Amino acid sequence: EPEVTQTPSHQVTQMGQEVILRCVPISNHLYFYWYRQILGQKVEFLVSFYNNEISEKSEIFDDQFSVERPDGSNFTLKIRSTKLEDSAMYFCASRTGTGYEQYFGPGTRLTVT
């Protein structure tokens, strides 16, 4: 069964550094998402991406964040200058063009020190 994959599984970075989190969505899916979960808190929506542009974003997704689909398979989330409060589990998800169900990857745990 096709799955969403994410790399790395764990990323440690220093405050102020740039990080890129990578995701490979399911191959025939058209909509891509990033969510995050700060430890002890709920999963929060960051951004959705369709047809090579952002279709929705939350208040969390400020100018420090960007997303890109650099090729036909990868979907990336970049944080330009990480802050301590960016430490969280980041989940990528994807869905087809017709269904509402989103399929999630295993997550990348980002630790900012």
Partner 1 sequence: AQSVSQHNHHVILSEAASLELGCNYSYGGTVNLFWYVQYPGQHLQLLLKYFSGDPLVKGIKGFEAEFIKSKFSFNLRKPSVQWSDTAEYFCAVIYSGYALNFGKGTSLLVTP
Binding residues for partner 1, rule: CB under 8 A, are 4, 31, 33, 35, 41-45, 48, 55-56, 58, 91, 93, 95, 100-107
Q: For partner 1, give the closer residue by CB, 4 or 112.
A: 4
What is the closest distance, in whole angstroms, from the C-beta atom of residue 54 to partner 1 in the complex?
12
Q: What count of residues does the chain have?
A: 113
Q: At its nearest, how many Å lie between partner 1 and the CB of residue 106?
A: 4
How far apart are the C-alpha atoms of 64 and 105, rounded to whole Å?
A: 23
Q: Which is nearer to partner 1, 14 or 52 (CB)?
A: 52
User: Tokens 């808190």 identify what position?
Assistant: 41
User: Exposed, middle or buried, 11 (CB in 10 Å: 0-12/13-18/19+)?
Assistant: middle
22 strand-pairing partners: 7, 76
- Is the CB of 4 or the CB of 88 nearer to partner 1? 4
The amino acid occupying position 84 is L
Residue nearer to partner 1 on the CB measure, 20 or 57: 57
Nearest alpha carbon to residue 48 among 60, 64, 40: 60
Query: What is the smallest separation between the CB atom of 104 and partner 1, expressed in angstroms?
Result: 4
